[in-house]
Amino acid sequence: MALIVHFYQTRFSDHQDFFESLLDPEIRFNQNKSIPTQAAFEILVHPTPTAEWLEASPNLRAVVVPWAGIPEKTRNVMRNYPNISLHNLHHNNFNTAELGFALLLAAAKHVLPMDSALRNDDWGPRYQPTKAILLRGKTALILGFGEIGQALANYCLGMGMRVIATKRNPDQSDHQWDQNVTVHPPDDLDHLLPSADVLLIALPLTDETENLIDKKQIALMPKGSILINIGRGTIVNQYAFYEALKNGHLRAGGSDVWYNYPDADHDRSSTPPADVPFGELDNFVLSPHRGGMVEGVERQRAESLAMLLNAANRGDEIPNKVDLNLGY
């Protein structure tokens, strides 16, 4: 029997033909923003389905959010449909990890202020006491040891850093890390922070992780340490983060995730990313939530979604199932 899939609005730019070539030939799919009459789809690809969508087809067994992370409204509505599983895509994990590592390098080497000066023909920073540090030999603490966190670990290990990490179920970590990374439960956080020369946040936003890093936690980090956030903005208290950068407790920091986002197209050139002026700090690197975006990302998305749909079609376990209680 053919697997029937409905796409609410998912296109792959110039890779639509490539996507279709990857699908098992018996998979049938259609795309429309409107609920089809006599809906019979088994898989719904939709980032924010309403109850009407979830009840439209008596055959629906799984919803796929076609990106990483689950919108809160999707999580809330899905709680009412325990027989329908929720999944997302992890296609941009390495993309995000690379951006996080780029933020770390830029922060540790004080790249942006030197770049800004030399663009104005100012060689002054070359003759001033350096603010750059050597990462080799430093300890990186990675919060969240999923696919993004593990990619970050590889990059840090490649730089000669010591790596420790937190994971909800550390005993389920891949044994390949046994000799290289010490994985701890989240409850060990306060005991780990004093050894963190670098704190890399790769956590999803949940009730447990919101405001996880506040004034107390930052104070536990060594003076002169670095904090990089590629998880979600509100995991780190923005006021505590800003103050620690401004007073020098943190040497530097960077973020690709924020506290405020534009509500509409006309707000894109006038929306501060936070309620504090991070942009005025020369020891902070800002990125506009583009970590997952690289050339060819739509091809990555196509491959990841095709793999998931083929698994469903073949009767295999559908990848990337989301635990609604945890939020990921």
- Fold: same for 4-92+296-313 and 93-286: yes
> pTM for the whole thing?
0.90
Check residue 309 and give its pLDDT: 94
Superfamily for 4-92+296-313?
A: NAD(P)-binding Rossmann-like Domain (3.40.50.720)
Q: Give pLDDT, residue 178.
A: 61
Q: Which of 108, 139, 136 is nearest to 221 (CA)?
A: 139
Instruction: Please report the pLDDT score of residue 38 as a whole number.
Output: 87
Tokens encoding 82: 């325990």
Residue 222 burial (10 A CB sphere; 0-12, 13-18, 19+): middle
> For residue range 161-199, what is the model confidence (pLDDT) as tens digits?
999 999 988 776 665 666 789 999 999 999 999 999 999
CB atoms within 10 A of CB 55: 15
Contact status, residue 41 vs residue 1, Cβ threshold 8 Å: no
| Low-confidence residues of the chain: pLDDT under 70 | 1, 172-178
The structural domains of the chain, with segments of one domain joined by +, span 4-92+296-313, 93-286
Residue in 246, 171, 243, 172 with CA at minimum distance from that of residue 213? 243
Cα–Cα dist 24/6, whole Å: 15
pLDDT of residue 242: 98
CA angle 41, 45, 47 (to 5 degrees): 140
Structure tokens at 195: 């050894």
Contact 227, 213 (CB under 8 A): yes
What's the confidence (pLDDT) of residue 9?
77
Could you tell me the sign of the dihedral formed by the alpha carbons of 120, 122, 128, 134, in that order? Answer: positive
- pLDDT tens string 257-311: 999 999 999 999 999 999 999 999 999 999 999 998 898 888 999 999 999 999 9
What Å distances lie between residue 238 and 30, 211, 216, CA to CA? Answer: 43, 9, 13
Residue 203 near residue 209, CB atoms below 8 Å: yes
Buried b (16+ CB within 10 A) or exposed e, 238-277: bebbbebbbeebbbbbbbbbbbeeeeeeeeeeeeebbebe
**Class of the CATH domain delimited by 93-286:** alpha beta
